[in-house]
Structure 1
Amino acid sequence: MAPVETKEDIDHHNLDLEKIASKQVTSVFNPGEYGIVDDHDMNDDEARLVALGYKQEFRREFSVWTSFGVSFSVLGLLPSIATTLWYGLGYSGTAGMTWGWIVAMIGIQCVAQSMAELASSMPTSGGLYYAAAVLAPDGWGPLCSWITGWSNWIGQVTGAPSVDFGCAQMILAAASILHPDYVPQSWHTFLLTVSLLIIHGAISSMPTKYIAHFNSVSTWLNMSILLIVVILIPAATTNANPRFNSSADVWGVITNGTEWPNGIAVLMSFISVIWTMSGYDAPFHLSEECSNAAVASPRAIVMTAEVGGVLGFILNLVISYTVTDIEAVLTSPLGQPFVAYCLQVLTVEAALAVTALTIVCSFMMGQGCMVAASRVTYAYARDGVFPLSGPIWSKVNKTTLTPVNAVWMNTSIGILLMLLIFAGPLAIGAIFSIGAIGAYVAFTLPVTLRTFVVGNRFRPGPWNLGRFSYASGVVATSFTLLMMPILCFPTVNGPDLNAQSMNYTCLVWGGPMFLAMVWWFVDAHKWFKGPRVNVEHKMLQKANDLVPTGTHFSDTGDSNGHTVAEVKEE
């Protein structure tokens, strides 16, 4: 028979709960119903994490600045804008790049601010996937978590392939400059991109300390090179009479590269902004490794979004005021608009220097994306999201202590995605809008639940938006709902629309999401209950009642462990 707890034991547990309840977090445990099993005094960070259902397993060595550094590195402003220049400049010209960036940033900043509020209330590495499970109405947590997790994973798994594809394009374009007779072919781009993916897979499989050193260097390189390029291009431009474009042309002329009305063309150009600004969720996933996470993590999210927004806008201004022939940039045989732009406004030597610096940033960014995606894949596999999750994808390599199987799962999927290169530029271009849609659906679903479902019952953390929370959530939700269909629009319509000009986003993102939903309704709803919590606790009845010790949570989070949904139900 299980031992009976004494009143002193229960009072001790209730004190723990009072300590936890004093922390501004949205706990899955109800005060007076659960006692936490602990053998030491918990600091504030650990108490918050325990309230969320997790024991402290990582060393908290990140700060607001280092978390910001990692997320800014994943943001990769210079290579991101360089890779997606075809969308910003090609769909709506310089006016789209200037006004478009400003308008898009209103929605993006609201998404980031609302996400930061969630990170303060639920500072756990499960991030949005966890938040969706907690904020959903009773009985709906697993489904909301399932949708958020799959959409986030699709956005994550396309990150490294899209960055490496852009990096390969720039490398081949630089080769074309050095060897004018060389014309890059599709299979050249494919093989080079695959090589980059394999290299990044190998680096991501190394022990954590080596990956950390690599990403530290990446952070400083991305920041330094961006500032160098922003200063170098306007200072060294070879344009003359005039040296810079007039403000009337930059801000007032829409060069519509689509067959849609100007307003739709500007909205379509948002893909460049959205894809570029989709890495600021990293501090959320790092919160269990961050000191004072309930404040530092949301601040890092906001800093990344705001600093990235400002510096990205400055780079767009530089391009808009110096580009002289948009058509020539977009139709250059180099196959990479940013490199063609650099050649147009700089000397060959300076253009090669800027291209080389951008390639370095792109390589580093691709590595950061691969690491982030592999950790998300591992976390989801640990909860049984994928087929063969237990025996294969959730395994940690005993030598490197990293999720090597998850790394190579993502690498293999990335290589398969690169086959879209042979279907034409619009087909491979879908990986950018896939990443944008996947990320922002995952970013916004928990925000929508918090805004329209939970409402005033939400317990904000120490960093919160106060009375502006609802307005921010409304704008964030509206922005994502507007952009989801827009990002699926092809550039042409009517008789010009065919297999070569189709936008494959609706297929490449919608297809896996459709299959995931079919899987859910056919089978997954029977066994998937959302994120598994692993803190050891005792299930008690009301405070001060003498009750026998109940079931313990699994220490390992295995198939016998409880989930957030089950805790809520209990």
Structure 2
Amino acid sequence: MATEPRISIQSASQRKKSVAEEPVTSVLPGGDVPFDPSHEFNPDEEVLAALGYKSEFKREFSLFTTFCVSFAVLGLLPSFASTLFYGMGYAGTAGMTWGWIIAMIGIQCVAMSMAELCSSMPTSGGLYYASAVLAPPGWGPFAAWITGWSNWLAQVTAAPSVDYGVAAMILAAGSIQNPDYVPTNYQTFLLTVFIMLIHGVMSSFPTKWLAQVNSGGSTFNFIALIIVIILIPAGTDRVSRGLPKFTPSSEVWGTIYEGTSFPAGVSVLMSFIGVIWTMSGYDSPFHLAEECSNANVASPRAIVLTSGTGGLFGWFLQLVVAYTVVDIESVLDSDLGQPFAAYLMQCMPQKITLAILALTIIAGFAMGQGCMIAASRVTFAYARDDCFPLSKYWKQVNKTTQTPVNAVWFNCVIGILLLFLIFGGALAVGALFSIGAIAAFVAFTTPIFIRVFFVGNRFRAGPWNLGKFSIPIGVVASAFVALMVPILCLPSSTGADLTPDVMNWTCLVYGGPMLGVTIWWFVSARKWFKGPKVNIDHMMLGREGNMVEGEEVKGNDSGSEIVPDPKAVEEMETTKPRELQ
């Protein structure tokens, strides 16, 4: 009986390379992909098809626009303003100066290792997909499950925490204008919900519009950051208050504020929560990879560009604040309810204070928008693999906008529900920031850890890679996060001073949900969740069970190469499903 002719990328498009030869971690047997003879694959579609997915989005993001979304999500100025309580409150100016440098070494290692994974596997699932591909045989679905839920917790709490910070700054500005006005939790809640709804509407628009809006927002973010870095030292009125214009360097770099009951070194490490939360947005290019042109090069570049630029300018911002703050304790205990506004009131004229707050609020609004977009892409990618209840609704792509609108509003509703923590007080709502810091970096590092300690030299790198420095950088990244996870769960007080009011609830608000999804895995999910789904069978690195009998994995300097046995391939061709022939 005659069989239908095979259609491959090479025969249909007359390319010199097949999809199997693309520099990606997962390759298809023989290089075949779901293919429409009337459509010629471009390089981005080939790479995505080699990972087992079909292109569903318009690729209207470039390196610059992807960086813009990522930098908007990073939001240095509003992020710093929202987390000043932790960075300054735990270790004072010393933690803000040399503490930031130490933290950035670990963070930059995480970013570079992540970028290497992104180049190899440029999919919306990102870290979740990478964990499944790289995990030891039999552990792929569980690794994807844990990574996915941890990353989703970070993503779904990002927009509400940012929008809460924006709302608090708006109301603090009102208090500065009218000293008799004291914001209430109810007002903060309603204003934050209103901002969330605006972002939900904006995030439902087409990709091209989103790229343009976020380019503008990111540009404003960067310009506002530069203005504030210049304006604070230039406009401070410390001299008129009987103080030197700047605090002496010996005090700024050498004095550690006793904001915790732990030794000074531990207090500095605890202050890293501000750095980690501020620098947790550089994974956005990974999640936007399926909407980015030349994704396996542009997306990893955007990751490293975001983390490097953010780290440098974030340190500059830390320095100008550290050299001009007057009284740390007054900043933390101010009735304004927003430490950054209280700091500005200490060392700046009222008009300049309001101007800086206005810039920060607008930048924060753009940041919240970027967070909402990134979170929706993560939810879509996980729903595509049926991670969530009612996933069939959240994985739908709107036919008009070509964006995952249902996923946007799913996240928006979850975020609004989380905002009820506002009524529990500052420490309760602070759990949003704690979840974001730990959940994000656990998700970031899980596939990096697997790649370093289980895959090793068998890893098949993409066109953007770290070469011989890949393993050492991955080790530093893994060690940094392993150290910081328990540190960030420590309470600021100990002994008799430790009460429920000052308890660090991070271990509960993050550990509780993660314990729940782990139990869910062993009770039910392991029976039906098989990890990232693909459109046709594909090979995962290091999976003997997924290889055709007779194949072997050979290591070389560039990674691993799957070498099929000719007889095994011929046998596979006669037994593969008809639609793949």
Relative to the length of structure 1, the TM-score reads 0.91
User: 1:550: which partner in 2?
Assistant: 576
In the alignment, structure 1 segments of 5+ residues that lack a partner are: 555-570
Q: One-letter code of the match for 2:487?
A: I
Aligned partners of 1:381 and 1:394 also within 8 Å:
yes
1:463 aligned to 2:458? no
Deviations 1:274-330 (A, max 9, x none): 000011111112222323222221111111100000000000001001111111111
Deviation at 1:13, TM superposition (A): 9.3
Deviations 1:221-246 (A, max 9, x none): 11111111111111111122421111
1:382 aligned to 2:395? no
Using a 3 Å threshold, how does the CA distance of structure 1 residues 546 and 174 change in structure 2: closer, same or farther? closer
Using a 3 Å threshold, how does the CA distance of structure 1 residues 242 and 4 change in structure 2: closer, same or farther? same
My pick for the range that moved more, 297-306 or 75-84, is: 297-306
User: 1:309: which partner in 2?
Assistant: 311
User: 1:437: which partner in 2?
Assistant: 438
Deviations 1:47-72 (A, max 9, x none): 22221112233343332222211111
For 1:84 and 1:35, how far apart are their aligned partners in 2?
Answer: 47
Q: One-letter code of the match for 1:126?
A: G
For 1:49 and 1:386, how far apart are their aligned partners in 2?
Answer: 23
1:57-76 matches, within 5 Å, as 57-76=56-75
Using a 3 Å threshold, how does the CA distance of structure 1 residues 384 and 464 change in structure 2: closer, same or farther? same
1:115 aligned to 2:127? no
Deviation at 1:8, TM superposition (A): 10
For 2:141 and 2:227, how far apart are their aligned partners in 1?
Answer: 47
Aligned partners of 2:60 and 2:291 also within 8 Å:
yes
Deviations 1:384-404 (A, max 9, x none): 1111212x3333445554433
Using a 3 Å threshold, how does the CA distance of structure 1 residues 330 and 405 change in structure 2: closer, same or farther? same
In the alignment, structure 2 segments of 5+ residues that lack a partner are: 540-546, 549-566
For 2:280 and 2:575, how far apart are their aligned partners in 1?
Answer: 46
Q: One-letter code of the match for 1:102?
A: I
User: 2:374: which partner in 1?
Assistant: 372
Aligned partners of 1:110 and 1:472 also within 8 Å:
yes
1:377-416 matches, within 5 Å, as 377-390=379-392, 392-397=393-398, 400-416=401-417
User: 2:496: which partner in 1?
Assistant: 495
Q: One-letter code of the match for 2:199?
A: H
Q: One-letter code of the match for 2:25?
A: T
User: 1:289: which partner in 2?
Assistant: 291
For 2:345 and 2:498, how far apart are their aligned partners in 1?
Answer: 32
1:316-335 matches, within 5 Å, as 316-335=318-337
3-state DSSP class of the match of 2:18?
helix
Deviation at 1:552, TM superposition (A): 6.6
Q: One-letter code of the match for 2:28?
A: F
Using a 3 Å threshold, how does the CA distance of structure 1 residues 421 and 533 change in structure 2: closer, same or farther? same
Deviation at 1:16, TM superposition (A): 7.8
User: 1:559: which partner in 2?
Assistant: none
Aligned partners of 2:19 and 2:31 also within 8 Å:
no
For 2:316 and 2:274, how far apart are their aligned partners in 1?
Answer: 15
Aligned partners of 2:288 and 2:374 also within 8 Å:
no
My pick for the range that moved more, 41-50 or 82-91, is: 41-50
User: 2:102: which partner in 1?
Assistant: 103
Deviations 1:430-468 (A, max 9, x none): 111100111111100000011000001001112111111
For 2:578 and 2:210, how far apart are their aligned partners in 1?
Answer: 35
User: 2:164: which partner in 1?
Assistant: 165
1:491-530 matches, within 5 Å, as 491-530=492-531
For 1:377 and 1:553, how far apart are their aligned partners in 2?
Answer: 30
How many corresponding residue pairs?
A: 551
For 1:465 and 1:278, how far apart are their aligned partners in 2?
Answer: 21
Q: One-letter code of the match for 2:302?
A: A
For 2:217 and 2:407, how far apart are their aligned partners in 1?
Answer: 22
Q: One-letter code of the match for 1:103?
A: I
For 1:220 and 1:455, how far apart are their aligned partners in 2?
Answer: 39
Deviation at 1:536, TM superposition (A): 9.2
User: 1:299: which partner in 2?
Assistant: 301
* Residue from 338, 353, 363 that aligns with 1:351: 353
Using a 3 Å threshold, how does the CA distance of structure 1 residues 71 and 11 change in structure 2: closer, same or farther? closer
My pick for the range that moved more, 57-66 or 442-451, is: 57-66
Deviation at 1:516, TM superposition (A): 0.7
Aligned partners of 2:19 and 2:27 also within 8 Å:
no
Aligned partners of 1:24 and 1:462 also within 8 Å:
yes
For 2:520 and 2:491, how far apart are their aligned partners in 1?
Answer: 29
For 1:387 and 1:175, how far apart are their aligned partners in 2?
Answer: 42
Aligned partners of 1:50 and 1:535 also within 8 Å:
no
Q: One-letter code of the match for 2:324?
A: T
For 1:553 and 1:486, how far apart are their aligned partners in 2?
Answer: 53
Using a 3 Å threshold, how does the CA distance of structure 1 residues 200 and 24 change in structure 2: closer, same or farther? same
3-state DSSP class of the match of 1:443?
helix
Aligned partners of 1:97 and 1:316 also within 8 Å:
yes
3-state DSSP class of the match of 1:322?
coil
User: 2:542: which partner in 1?
Assistant: none
Q: One-letter code of the match for 2:466?
A: L
User: 1:421: which partner in 2?
Assistant: 422
1:53 aligned to 2:36? no
3-state DSSP class of the match of 2:574?
coil
Using a 3 Å threshold, how does the CA distance of structure 1 residues 239 and 449 change in structure 2: closer, same or farther? same
* Residue from 239, 244, 247 that aligns with 2:246: 244
3-state DSSP class of the match of 2:464?
coil
Q: One-letter code of the match for 2:365?
A: F
User: 2:184: which partner in 1?
Assistant: 185
User: 2:544: which partner in 1?
Assistant: none
For 2:91 and 2:578, how far apart are their aligned partners in 1?
Answer: 59
Q: One-letter code of the match for 1:355?
A: L
Aligned partners of 1:7 and 1:546 also within 8 Å:
no
Aligned partners of 1:537 and 1:553 also within 8 Å:
no
User: 2:143: which partner in 1?
Assistant: 144
Deviation at 1:94, TM superposition (A): 0.2
For 1:363 and 1:447, how far apart are their aligned partners in 2?
Answer: 32
Identical-residue share of aligned pairs (%): 62
Using a 3 Å threshold, how does the CA distance of structure 1 residues 552 and 306 change in structure 2: closer, same or farther? farther
| Alignment RMSD | 2.6
Deviation at 1:4, TM superposition (A): 3.0
For 1:378 and 1:83, how far apart are their aligned partners in 2?
Answer: 28
Relative to the length of structure 2, the TM-score reads 0.89
For 1:16 and 1:543, how far apart are their aligned partners in 2?
Answer: 22
Deviation at 1:220, TM superposition (A): 1.2
